[in-house]
């Protein structure tokens, strides 16, 4: 009986986490949609814009994959879309020809700076801050 109660509490917590996640993504998507971005698009731009000084603004796609919650193929499609829109560029890694770098363009920087307050406000609304 106790194990069943623990299981029910865990399930309730899990559903609450999923609900907060869905509500937050929806809020961010609505805020950024007029600018042609979604939550995942913004996440990639934000990671590139806030890259550590050692990395510069260039980041390996595989490193982004560990930080953005998308499959490798979905991330590749997202990066291709951002590149098509002129927000990022891709280049091959010289040391490892299988690796691909992603770099934020000036247009990407400008759009990130423009929508950052909107994303933060959406987070505050969704998370009650």
pLDDT tens profile 25-81:
999 999 999 999 999 999 999 999 987 544 445 677 777 877 888 888 999 999 999
DSSP state of 96: -
Beta pairing partners, 100: 92
Tens of pLDDT along 83-112?
999 999 988 877 666 678 888 999 999 999
């Amino acid at each position: 009986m106790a194990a069943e109660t623990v299981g029910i509490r865990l399930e309730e917590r899990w559903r609450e986490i999923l609900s907060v996640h869905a509500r937050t993504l929806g809020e961010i998507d609505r805020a950024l949609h007029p600018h042609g971005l979604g939550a995942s698009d913004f996440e990639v731009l934000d990671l590139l814009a806030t890259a550590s000084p050692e990395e510069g603004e260039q980041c390996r796609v595989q490193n982004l994959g560990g930080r953005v919650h998308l499959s490798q193929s979905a991330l590749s499609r997202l990066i291709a879309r951002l590149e098509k829109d002129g927000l990022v560029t891709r280049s091959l890694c010289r040391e490892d020809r299988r690796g691909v770098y992603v770099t934020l363009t000036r247009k990407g920087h400008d759009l990130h700076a423009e929508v950052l307050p909107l994303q933060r406000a959406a987070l505050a609304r969704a998370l009650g801050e």
